Amino acid sequence: MKKFFVVFALFILFFAVSCGSSGKNENKDNTGTGETVTDEDSVSEPADRPDTDDPDTEPTDTDDSDTMPEQSDGGDSQSDDMDTAPDNSDSTPDDDADSSDTTDTSDTSDTETDTEYEPDDDEDLCNSDPCAGIVNSTGDCIVSGTSYICGCNEGYRWSGSECVTQSFPDSPSIGNICTGQKKCYTDETEISCYASESAGFFGQDAYYASLGVCLPHSFTVQTLSNQNVVLDNNTGLIWQQTIPTEKYTWENAVSYCSGLTYGGYSGDWRMPALQELLTIVDSSRYEPAIDTEYFPETPSGLSIYFWSSSATAGYSDIVWNVEFDLGGANPFGKAGSAHIRCVRGEAWPESILTSDTVNGDGIVTDSATGLMWQKNYVENKAWQEALSYCADLTYAGYTDWRLPDKNELISLVNYEKSDPASDFPDMPSTKFWSSSTNNSLDVESAWSVIFYSGSIGNGSKSSAYYVRCVR
């Protein structure tokens, strides 16, 4: 009996212990459930990541595709760009996925970024001081794409291998006159013009102007018979400084200039040709796009049209005018009204374009400007790509090619023709980029020339236009 009670007591003890253990496990589970709720809150971001990878990838692709249509002007090759864009975006989620798995991957990308913007010393083309022994060089060296440019003494310019005498025609024309730009830009903001600091936008108008490839604006005000005239020291043209405040139809403007007595001159004042009028446009200014120190009575504001004598090809009732609010040029009906500024002086010699082949590459030389042009062209380049293409180009044995500035590009237009409006061999009737930013439009646009008619306009820097380089 005693043994029975002992066994019974042990049974009761075992049962109690088992029940207590079960109670503890239930409490532990409840505690764990509470911790799980807290953990879910604290790790909600990682929990969302698997879902985020796919949905977030899609909007990224959508953003890219939304951007690409801005380049729709580019034509058939645009589809190639569209095909390329998804490939790049597809690789991005893979990289992101890898970096989420391994913290070291993000560290590696930081290292790669540092390498891109801070190259090793042995990669800096100017570290070996290549300009020190160049005759007529200042010794300054500037990285230019995959090459370098040496600074040259006054009267010389860098040819790609030496400092050569900088010479201009006896009668400089539009293609020899600087646009006036003195700053460089991305599609968002002003930047340094020099390659090491230009964030991929090297080779702009203002940079090459600083090297002396064009003639900066130079004017002298002369007072004759108590009236001021403005002498263009580059072209030799003499401009009327004080202009009428009223507007004229084109026919009346022609009569006004031909009958003008001003500044001691009579009988030889005339309406300027379009390219003559464009030489006094200053593309560093707007509203008005002219140096008001020398041309103080130019109206300011929008839609400031000035007549030219240049008729549009095939339309006797339409002529070209210059918009001095921004500096573009467009056709304008003769019956309309616009401002007039008369000019006197000899007309420029006509361009004679000569084709040749050097080292297997076609070139075209312009007798009027002395400029050498790439005969070939490339299609569908955004503005930044156009700058880089020309800056990095080795062609016909030369390495000093550049994207032409606005005035250089205009020099290829023959306003007596259309489709194309040029004597350049095999010129397509489409838009070509210049290296000149339209700084009146929040620097998002750059100047271009449409060679169907010769219109001078601007386009978003993300648009895809044609490119032909010059030197």
The answer to whether 435 and 203 are in contact (CB under 8 A) is yes
Q: Which long-range contacts (CB under 8 A, 24 or more apart) does 156-161 make?
A: 156/212, 157/211, 157/212, 157/213, 158/211, 158/400, 159/398, 159/400, 160/398, 160/399, 160/400, 161/399
Q: What percent of the chain has pLDDT over 70?
A: 72
Domain that holds residue 339: 219-344
Q: What is the largest CA-CA distance in the chain?
A: 149
Please report, as a single letter, which amino acid is at residue 222.
Q
In the prediction, which pLDDT does 149 show? Answer: 80
In a domain, 96, yes or no: no
Helix locations, 102-213, DSSP H: 103-117, 205-210
Please state the domain count of the chain.
1
Cα–Cα dist 306/330, whole Å: 11
User: Any idea which residue has 């409490």 for tokens?
Assistant: 27
Give how far Cα 140 sits from Cα of 128, 387, 405, 441, Å: 12, 22, 24, 34
Written as six digits, the tokens of 274 are 């379009």
More confident residue, 92 or 144: 144
CA nearest neighbour of 412 among 368, 378, 444: 368
In the prediction, which pLDDT does 57 show? Answer: 34
In the prediction, which pLDDT does 345 show? Answer: 95
Angle 122-128-131 from CA coordinates, rounded to 5°: 145
CA nearest neighbour of 151 among 139, 165, 135: 139
Helix (H) or strand (E) holding 435: strand 431-437
**Cis previous bond, 216, omega within 30:** no
- Within 10 Å of residue 7's Cβ, how many Cβ atoms? 10
Cα–Cα dist 287/141, whole Å: 37
CA nearest neighbour of 137 among 121, 161, 106, 119: 161
Residue 109 pLDDT more than 50? no
Residue 67 pLDDT more than 70? no
In the prediction, which pLDDT does 233 show? Answer: 95
In the prediction, which pLDDT does 144 show? Answer: 63
In a domain, 408, yes or no: no
First CA to last CA distance, the chain: 120
Helix (H) or strand (E) holding 100: helix 77-101
In a domain, 174, yes or no: no
More confident residue, 278 or 100: 278
CATH code, 267? 3.10.100
Residue 467 pLDDT more than 70? yes
In a domain, 340, yes or no: yes
The 8-class DSSP code of residue 217 comes to P
- Within 10 Å of residue 201's Cβ, how many Cβ atoms? 23
The 8-class DSSP code of residue 141 comes to E
Residue 428 pLDDT more than 70? yes
Average pLDDT estimate for 77-99 = 35
In a domain, 146, yes or no: no
Residue 42 pLDDT more than 50? no
In a domain, 82, yes or no: no
In the prediction, which pLDDT does 199 show? Answer: 72
Residue 55 pLDDT more than 90? no
Residue 92 pLDDT more than 80? no
Task: Tell me what the pLDDT averaged over the chain comes to.
Answer: 77
In a domain, 398, yes or no: no
Model confidence at 447, pLDDT cuts 50, 70, 90, reads very high
Model confidence at 195, pLDDT cuts 50, 70, 90, reads low
φ and ψ of 235, to 5 deg: -95, -20
110-155 pLDDT, tens per residue?
333 333 333 343 347 788 888 988 998 888 887 765 667 888 887 7
pTM over 0.75: no
Model confidence at 351, pLDDT cuts 50, 70, 90, reads confident
292-344 pLDDT, tens per residue?
999 998 998 888 999 999 999 989 999 999 999 999 999 999 999 999 999 99
Model confidence at 96, pLDDT cuts 50, 70, 90, reads very low
φ and ψ of 317, to 5 deg: -100, 5
Written as six digits, the tokens of 75 are 């034509």
Residue 58 pLDDT more than 80? no
In a domain, 140, yes or no: no
Please report, as a single letter, which amino acid is at residue 170.
D
